[in-house]
Amino acid sequence: MKQNLQLSDDGKLKHFLSIEGLSRDLLLKILDTAESFAGMTEQSVKKVPLLRGKTIVNLFFENSTRTRTTFELAATRLSADVLNINIATSATSKGESLLDTIRNLEAMHVDMFVVRHAISGAAQFIAENSASHISVINAGDGQHAHPTQAMLDMYTIKQHKTDFSQLKVAIIGDILHSRVARSQILALNTLQAEEVRVIAPKTLLPAQVECLGAEPYLNMKQGLKDIDVIIMLRLQKERMKSALLPSENEYYKCFGLTPEKLAIAKADAIVMHPGPINRGVEIDSSIADSHRSVILQQVSNGIAVRMAIMSMAMQNMEAKA
Ligand code: CP
């Protein structure tokens, strides 16, 4: 990725495509801005006029429940107009190219694209090929990045643990295919977490995962020792090109989070999952629904964090226009 495509010349956010290349100060500013929006959910009027008159297009070429709806709610709470493009019923299904779809939406004078696409780099491609006043936010591209998910995860961790420099975090499951894990590892390292571990069978670990900034473990007994934050991931079967596991039962036995395995971590460790969760595959229902789980808090926090990212990026676009 071009180092500063997502930043203006003076280092401000224009697009949000990846955590890569963003400073600790900028990540902390996103978390602080999100904090200022979080209190709005308690108010009777849940709107601010920051993006009044702006049009935001949700362009989801892959399925989504949490990300698409929280982006829509975030945009609505910022008073923007929102277009949700249903790709299944759009001209994409008649063979229109991505670039032609973008050109046609640009002709409607829109201001921001929120993009989810199965191909890594799709959001960056759109940012490089859109009109200069349009901001692009990556809502998940292939196996590359899901930076807004990582930021809402950091926000949720901060709510419970305050000081990143004292934290040992374990990300468990299908690391190989996970854009979420890649973005979380980058964010945790940028925020100077004490230790980031990934726990998975060898077949689900990227080669040289240490270079990404995480220490690999092949079993839960060692990997969960002294851990403060546990992040479970689902098996991304849609991205597996061959049989990488003997069976889901065997996977659950070795890597599924059960009460016995949770007991290895610190007594106050929190349990996270970006969703969708597969109960009985990577996590036991009794943990997913327990007081140790902050999974639904992650979903709620997605609104404030996405409000922060959209408003910061759009403000900087306006400054450049
Ligand atoms: N966490 C996440 O990206 O969920 P969705 O696929 O439902 O958006």
Q: Given ligand 1 and candidates 60, 62, 66, which is best to mutate, with the most ligand atoms within 8 Å of its CB?
A: 66
Q: Hey, what are 35's tokens?
A: 């904090």
Centroid of ligand 1 to alpha carbon of 82 (angstroms): 19
Q: What is the distance between the alpha carbons of residues 162 and 38, in angstroms, rounded to a whole number?
A: 16
Question: Do 137 and 199 fall into the same domain?
Answer: no
Answer whether 13's CB lies under 8 Å from 313's CB. Answer: yes
Instruction: State residue 247's pLDDT score.
Output: 82
Ligand 1 pocket, Cβ-based, cut-off 6 angstroms: 64-67, 140, 149, 274-276
Average per-residue pLDDT in the chain?
93
67: phi > 0 → left, psi -120 to 50 → alpha, else beta; which?
alpha
Total structural domains within the chain: 2
- Give the CATH number of the domain where residue 197 resides: 3.40.50.1370
Question: Do 14 and 109 fall into the same domain?
Answer: yes
Burial of 245 (0-12, 13-18, 19+ CB in 10 A): middle
pLDDT digit string, tens, across residues 154-202: 999 999 998 999 999 999 999 999 999 999 999 999 999 999 999 999 9
Question: Do 183 and 250 fall into the same domain?
Answer: yes
Non-local CB neighbours of 306 within 8 Å, separated by 6+ positions: 70, 71, 74, 148, 152
Q: What is the distance between the alpha carbons of residues 157 and 230, in angstroms, rounded to a whole number?
A: 10
Burial of 65 (0-12, 13-18, 19+ CB in 10 A): exposed
Cross-sheet strand order for the sheet of 135-141: 81-86, 55-60, 112-117, 135-141
User: Would you tell me how many other CB atoms lie within 10 Å of the CB of residue 169?
Assistant: 25
Question: Do 262 and 308 fall into the same domain?
Answer: no
230: which DSSP letter?
A: E
Instruction: State residue 318's pLDDT score.
Output: 60
Answer whether 141's CB lies under 8 Å from 120's CB. Answer: yes
Residue nearest to atom 3 of ligand 1 (CA): 67
Question: Do 88 and 131 fall into the same domain?
Answer: yes
Full pLDDT tens readout for the chain, 321 residues: 445 899 999 999 999 999 999 999 999 999 999 999 998 877 888 899 999 999 999 999 999 999 999 999 999 999 999 999 988 777 777 888 999 999 999 999 999 999 999 999 999 999 999 999 999 999 999 999 999 999 999 999 999 998 999 999 999 999 999 999 999 999 999 999 999 999 999 999 999 999 999 999 999 999 999 999 999 999 987 777 667 777 888 999 999 999 999 999 999 999 999 999 999 999 999 999 999 999 999 999 999 999 999 999 999 886 544
Model pTM score: 0.95
Pick from 301, 274, 316: nearest CA to 40: 301
Question: Do 160 and 175 fall into the same domain?
Answer: yes
Residue nearest to atom 4 of ligand 1 (CA): 66
Q: Given ligand 1 and candidates 61, 63, 67, 71, which is best to mutate, with the most ligand atoms within 8 Å of its CB?
A: 67
Question: Do 157 and 276 fall into the same domain?
Answer: yes
60: which DSSP letter?
A: E
Answer whether 158's CB lies under 8 Å from 187's CB. Answer: no
Question: Do 72 and 201 fall into the same domain?
Answer: no
Question: Do 151 and 289 fall into the same domain?
Answer: yes
> What residues make up the domain containing 47?
3-145+300-320
Question: Do 91 and 154 fall into the same domain?
Answer: no
Strand partners, 135: 112
Question: Do 316 and 210 fall into the same domain?
Answer: no
Question: Do 14 and 137 fall into the same domain?
Answer: yes
Instruction: State residue 60's pLDDT score.
Output: 95
Q: Which atom of ligand 1 is nearest to the CA of 140?
A: 3
pLDDT digit string, tens, across residues 118-159: 999 999 999 999 999 999 999 999 999 999 999 999 999 999
Report which residue type is found at 10. D
